[in-house]
Amino acid sequence: MACFIVPTVEAIAVTIARKVGGRKENTANSIKAEGSESSAESETKVPFARKLKWLTNMLWGGSVLLAFEHIWHGEIIPWFPFLTAAGNAENAAEMLREMATVGVSMAVLVTVVWVAMLAITAVLEKRKTPELSAEVKGI
């Protein structure tokens, strides 16, 4: 009915967080680079803003394709209230129930998969850093 709205809201929130956090991270990185001894380490680490982009891409992509599915099934209309289910109280209650169950589960699953990706990336970064620092030292 309108389950895609929950991941869309999450996508908007994460996109804003990425824009704000990205600027701060860039400033911090440029300060670090000026007095950099650990440049090899910073090169192997994926910036958090880029990691957040993985999440926003999944959320936006999924939400857009799901919204398309809802248009296909005639659940989204181009005039107010835009969702056919929002037309009467009974359907609206059903829509809200679906958003709270299916919609929230969708957002949670995508986020859980992203957290798993972060964990894998962290392991790969840890593995790569000692190898690189050894290379830098000429070992």
Partner 1 sequence: MTLLTTVFAAVICTVIWYKCAPNDNMKVSVLCFMYWGASLMWLVDAIFEYAELRAEFFTPAFEDMINDLYLGLSAVALGLVIWVIVLIAKDPKGVVRAALLKRR
Residues 45-74 that bind partner 1 (CB under 8 A): 54, 57-66, 68-69, 72
Q: Cα separation of 89 and 6, whole Å? A: 20
Is residue 4 near partner 1 by the rule CB under 8 A? yes
In angstroms, give the least distance from the CB of 4 to partner 1: 7
Question: In sequence order, what are the beta bridge partners of 83?
Answer: 76
- Comparison of 39 and 57: residue with beta carbon closer to partner 1: 57
Q: Cα separation of 125 and 8, whole Å? A: 30
Pick from 46, 105, 123, 126 the residue near partner 1 by CB under 8 A: 105
Question: In sequence order, what are the beta bridge partners of 76?
Answer: 83
Burial class (CB in 10 A: 0-12, 13-18, 19+), 112: exposed
- Comparison of 72 and 79: residue with beta carbon closer to partner 1: 72
User: Which span (13-21, 27-35, 87-95, 99-107) binds partner 1, by CB under 8 A?
Assistant: 99-107
CA distances from 97 to 28, 62, 72 (A): 43, 20, 21
Question: Residue type for 25, please?
Answer: E
Pick from 28, 31, 113, 123 the residue near partner 1 by CB under 8 A: 113
Provide the binding-site residues for partner 1, judged by CB under 8 A: 3-4, 7, 54, 57-66, 68-69, 72, 101-102, 105-106, 109-110, 113
